[in-house]
Homo-oligomer: A and B are copies of this chain.
Amino acid sequence: MTDTSAPLRKDAARNRQRLLDAATELFATQGLGVTLNDIAHHAGVGVGTAYRRFANKEELIEALFEERFREVADAAQRALADPDAWTAFVTFFERYLQMQLQDRGLTELVTNAPVRHEKVNRMRTEIAPMITEIVERAKRDGHLRTDIEATDIIFMTIGLTAVMDRTRQVAPDYYLRLFDVYLDGFRAEPSKRTALRVPPLTVDQTHEVTTKS
């Protein structure tokens, strides 16, 4: 990526990697709101070191998330290669949601990408047509009801990630329950329902996650 000129000194290269690792972890667990200072301390290096390697947080985000988006694109590619359009549809969105469960930063970027992130926006516009095709294929195939558009599926994921963010601590997989309900609403043949895979939250759990501090 950045190998122009200056070959880094051994300790500097090691610290750079530590910073990337720390940033990956913190973006995933806390979201993109973490500061470069947080990242530096978590990496066990001084703040100065962080700022010498990366001018600011944006640069770090661009460096790390191109790879994440690449994974999404790969999953979409694989879905398009699957001969079964409905399985492909379900599997892709499950995978997509799971990636977001494991990386809050990814969710923030897909639901709310600041325009300044060129790379991120380029990846988004690369992925969008693949998602549309996954959806259209499931419709053509007769498994997905035809009055649903790809944009609806996108908003479904936005809603589900909001639920995910609340329930993550208490029942990380809960969102799959609502995803199953959505699938039952999306299916062209409504009688082909399957059982919900995960249990509901109890009233106490619900109360807990809707009450702060």
Contact = CB atoms under 8 A, between A and B. Distances in A.
A159 B156 CA distance: 8
A181 to B, nearest CB: 4
Q: How many identical chains are in the complex? A: 2
A114 B151 contact: no
A185 interface: yes
> Looking at chain A's contact residues, is the secondary structure mostly helix, strand, loop, or mixed?
helix
A110 interface: yes
Interface string A149-161: 1111011101111
A116 B213 CA distance: 8
Contact of A181 (B113, B116, B152, B212): B152
Interface residues of A, number: 52
A181 B159 CA distance: 13
A210 B113 contact: yes
A206 B159 CA distance: 14
Interface in A12-26: none
B151 A202 contact: yes
A184 interface: yes
Contact of A206 (B154, B183, B200): B154
B111 A200 contact: no
Interface in A150-203: 150-152, 154-156, 158-163, 166-167, 174, 177-178, 181-186, 190-191, 193, 195-196, 200-203
A184 B190 contact: yes
A128 interface: yes
A211 interface: yes
A1 interface: no
Contacts of A11: none
Interface in A87-126: 110-116, 121
A122 to B, nearest CB: 13
Contacts of A111: 166, 210
